Amino acid sequence: MLAERSPDDWNDLLVKVGLDRDREAFSRLFAHFAPLIKGFLMKGNAIGPEQAEELAQETMIKVWRKAESFNRRKSAASTWIYTIARNCRIDWIRREARNRVDIDAQDIYELGEDNPSYSSLVRVRNKENILDNIGELPPEQLEVVTKIYFEGKSHSEVADELMLPLGTVKSRIRLALKRMQLKLVNEAQV
């Protein structure tokens, strides 16, 4: 039956959507990513299944509309789609908070066309490092990382929730990043 797809396949499909408006490619991306996005958004318990489904659809529509701007040198397809889902979540939170100021997350995160200064090789290695090591993180570090990424909680919100000092949360993040061997440009910051 279906062979497992490699990340490169997802990149190719996304490029096809961007260049040729290829609906077949889009339907495959949808079948794979939409359920992941829905699962991702429901993780924090703040977003119910119906909302999550709507937001997953909204995310995929943006994927379709913005596919042209996908740059495989800068990010993997899954990462690029993650950033769109994250932005949809931010906008949803803003709407829920009845914030009437019209600032889309996309406006905040869009920094214009540019290529990273590192090569795509470095990017791929970074990603492999994350993949190899994320499963090895001690539970307390993984917990903090997932709370921040899945639930969109700030360090201080996580600290409140887990009843930990803020410094402990921050140092768990730092240790997790170190263990995932992210080759950060400015090592001094870690």
Chain positions 52 to 81 lying near another protein, rule: CB under 8 A, are 52-53, 56-57, 60-62, 64-66, 68, 74-76, 78-81
Which of 13, 141, 153, 159 binds another protein (CB under 8 A)? It is 153
Smallest separation, CB 1 to another protein (Å)? 17
Two tokens at 111?
Answer: 């920094």
Which of 8, 20, 24, 27 binds another protein (CB under 8 A)? It is 27
Sign, CA dihedral 78-80-86-88, equals negative
Determine the Cα–Cα distance for residues 120 and 16; give it in Å rounded to an integer.
Answer: 19
DSSP 77: H
Give the position of tokens 């992941």: 36
Smallest separation, CB 165 to another protein (Å)? 14
92 forms part of the interface with another protein (CB under 8 A)? no
Closest to another protein by CB, 116 vs 138, is 116
Closest to another protein by CB, 23 vs 165, is 23
Determine the Cα–Cα distance for residues 173 and 179; give it in Å rounded to an integer.
Answer: 10
Q: Residue 115 in contact with residue 133, Cβ under 8 Å?
A: no
Two tokens at 41?
Answer: 């958004």
Two tokens at 18?
Answer: 């961007």
152 forms part of the interface with another protein (CB under 8 A)? yes
Smallest separation, CB 139 to another protein (Å)? 15
Closest to another protein by CB, 71 vs 163, is 71
